[in-house]
Structure 1
Amino acid sequence: MTQGAGSNYTNLASEPPDHGIGRSRGGLTSKIHHLVDGHGRPLVVLVSAGQAGDGPVLEHLLAHLKVERCGPGRPRTRPDRLRGDKAYSSRATRQRLRRRGIVAVIPEPSDQIGHRKRRGTHGGRPPAFDAEDYKGRNVVERGFSVTKQWRGLATRYDKLAIVYRGAAVLRAITLWLPHLSDTP
Structure 2
Amino acid sequence: MRRHELTDHEWELLAPLIPRASTGRPRVSDRQVINGMVYKIRTGISWRDLPERYGPWQTVYTRFRRYAIDGVFTRALQQIQSQADAAGDIDWLVQIDSTIVRAHQHAAATGRKGGGHRPDEPDDHALGRSRGGLTTKIHLACDGKGRPLALLITPGQRHDSTCAQALLDRIRVPRTGPGRPRRRPDRVIADKAYSSRGLRSYLRKRGIACTIPEKNDQQRHRHNRGRRGGRPPAFDRHVYRRRNVVERCFNQLKGFRGIATRYDKTATSYEAAVSLASLLLWARSL
Fold shared, TM-score > 0.5 on shorter chain? yes
The one-letter amino acid paired with 1:94 is R
Paired residues of 1:15 and 1:22 also in contact (CA < 8 A): no
Q: TM-score, normalised by structure 2?
A: 0.56
Map residues 1-184 of structure 1 onto 2, 5 A cutoff. 17-69=123-175, 72-180=178-286
CA distance in 1, matches of 2:113, 2:215: 31
User: Secondary structure of the equivalent of 1:19?
Assistant: coil
Paired residues of 1:31 and 1:49 also in contact (CA < 8 A): yes
The one-letter amino acid paired with 1:139 is V
Deviations along 1:82-104, one digit per CA (max 9) or x if unpaired, are 00111110011000000000001
CA distance in 2, matches of 1:156, 1:11: 13
Paired residues of 1:32 and 1:46 also in contact (CA < 8 A): yes
Q: How many correspondences in the alignment? A: 172
Quick check: 20-29 or 96-105, which moved more?
A: 20-29
Q: Which runs of 5+ in 1 are unaligned?
A: 1-8
CA distance in 1, matches of 2:253, 2:126: 18
User: Secondary structure of the equivalent of 1:65?
Assistant: coil
Q: TM-score, normalised by structure 1?
A: 0.85
Paired residues of 1:86 and 1:106 also in contact (CA < 8 A): yes
Paired residues of 1:31 and 1:48 also in contact (CA < 8 A): yes
User: Secondary structure of the equivalent of 2:179?
Assistant: coil
CA distance in 1, matches of 2:174, 2:112: 43
Paired residues of 1:66 and 1:75 also in contact (CA < 8 A): yes
CA-atom RMSD, angstroms? 2.2
CA distance in 1, matches of 2:201, 2:135: 30
Among the aligned pairs, what percent are the same residue?
53
CA distance in 1, matches of 2:152, 2:112: 24
What is the deviation of 1:13? 8.8
Q: Which runs of 5+ in 2 are unaligned?
A: 1-107, 116-122
The alpha-carbon distance between structure 1 residues 13 and 73, as it changes in their structure 2 partners (threshold 3 A), is closer
User: Secondary structure of the equivalent of 1:117?
Assistant: helix
User: Secondary structure of the equivalent of 1:107?
Assistant: coil
The one-letter amino acid paired with 1:110 is N
What is the deviation of 1:179? 3.0
The alpha-carbon distance between structure 1 residues 115 and 152, as it changes in their structure 2 partners (threshold 3 A), is same
